[in-house]
Structure 1
C-alpha cells in the first residue's frame, strides 16, 4: 500500500510539472499575452472565490467597482489581499516573517482599498505553522511541499478568516516562484473544476482524490492525511494548468477569426482594437469603448455591431439598457 501510494504521488507530480510547463510555454508564445493573461486571471479569481465559498460574478463586480485592471483590489474577497503579490525574495521556504511581510499591505495605493489592508495574524499560530512545515519544505520538491504548506495553514488557522484561500495562494507562490503564469490561483482553478473537498482533506475526513485503494483511502493517520492532501494538490495543479492550455487554444481560434474579419476593413478601422478591449476585460459597453479609444458613442456602437455580425463579440444583456458584450469564444 505504501509503495502504491508513493507511485501514485510520483506520477501525479510528473503530470503536474509537465502541465505547468506546457501552460507556461503557451503563455510565452501567445501572440497577445495580455489577452490570455486577462482570461487566466479571471479563471483564477473564480477559483479563489469558490475556495472562499463565495459566488463570483465578474459583470456585477465590474458594475459595482469599475472596469480598470486594478478594480479587483476593491472586491469584497479575502484573496484580493494577496492576489498578484509575489512572496518576498528568499532562498528559504516561507516562514512566519515572510508571511507577515507578504500580507502587511506594504504596497498600499494612494486611495485605500481592501487589498491594501493588512490581514491580522495570530503570531503564535503562525509560528506553529512555520515550526510544523519548515523541515518538510526543505526536503521536498517545492510543488509537493506546497501542499503541506497550504494544508497546515488551514489547520493552524493564523488568520481570523480566509485561511484556506490565503494558504493556497501562499503555497502556490512558493511552488511557482516568480512565474507570471500565476497570480496565486492556478491550483484554485483545478480545485473548483475537480470539486476538491480541500477543507475536509486538511482535517483528515475527506476522500482521496483518485488513485488509491480502499485501505489507503481510509488511512486516518497523519501520514495518510498528508498523502491525500498532496495528491489532491498535484491533481488540482495539473487541472488548473490544463485549463490555461485550453484557454490558449480557444483564444488562438478567436484571434484567427479576428484577423480574418479585419481583412478588407479600412486601414483606420478600430474593429480590432474594440475586440481586443473586450478580450481584456469581463465585458464591454459602447460607452467604455468610446472612452478608452477616443471614439464617439455612435462609432463605438457601430464597431461593436460589426463585431457581433462577424461573431467576434456577443451580447449578454439581451437587449436591455446599458448593453454589455463579451468575446464569442
Structure 2
C-alpha cells in the first residue's frame, strides 16, 4: 500500500539534533505524519522515511524565473479580465494594468501573475484571440518599465506562446497541462518553468458538487501524475511548481484539509504555490461578504503557508502580505 510522508514543519525555535531542513528553506522538521489510505495516520521519526523520499523533501529547490526558493516569494495578481471574482474590470485597461503591476513591484512582489480569463466558479471560457489581446500587450508594456518576472495565467498554448514572446517568464496553468495538449510542448520548448495546479472539473461546473475519496491524497496523486506527464513532455522537474488548487472544485472542508496538509506536497520535490487570496471560504469563516473585505484572512492563510514551507504566495494584497511575511521571518530569525 502506498505511503505518504508529510513533514511536520516548524519555523523558528531550536531544531533538534536530528532535524532536517525542509526543501532547503526556512522551515525544519524532525517528524513526519505517515499516511496510508484506509488507515489511521501515524507520527514517525525522520529516520523512518525512505532515503529517496527524504531526499526529495529536503533537497534545496532551484531558483524559479530568477527567484530564490529558499525564502517565500510574493506573486502579485493582475487580472486583466472584466469578470474576475475579486476585481473584475478594475485593471482591464492597459495603462491602469501597467501602473498596478508597477505598484505591486514597489510593494514587494517578486513576480506578477497576469491572467486574461477568469477561472472563478461559473466563469465561461474566453476565446484564444480575446485572451491574447488582453494579456500580451500588457506584458509587453510592463517590459518597457521593469524586468520583474512575469507569469502568464492560462490554460491555452497560443496564449502562453504570445505571452512568452512578449516577455513572460513562467506559465501558470490551472489545468496542469490537461486542457490544451499543445501547452506542454510550448512550455518545454521555451525552457521556462510551469506551475501545475489541481482542479476538479472546469470553472463553469467545478463547485457544483466536488467529491473526493481523500482530498489530500487524491490531490497529491493527481499532481504526482501531472509532474510525470510534464517530465515526459520534456519539462525538467527543476522547472515544475505544484499548486493544490485551493477553491478549485473544493468545499470549505476540502480547502481546510488541504491547508492543514500543505507540507505533504514537499514530497513531490517541487516548489509549492499557494493561491488562497480573498477566496470565498475566507469570508465564510471570518466574515467578509465582499472579496475586498477578506484581506486580513488572506494574510493569515499566507502566513500559514509560510510556516508550512510554501515558496510562492499568490496574492491580491502584495504590501500587506509582504509586510506580514517580513515580520514573521524577523520574529523567528528566519532568513
TM-score by length of 2: 0.27
Indicate the structure with greater strand content. Answer: 2
Structure showing greater radius of gyration is 1
Q: Which has the higher helix share?
A: 1
TM-score (norm 1): 0.27
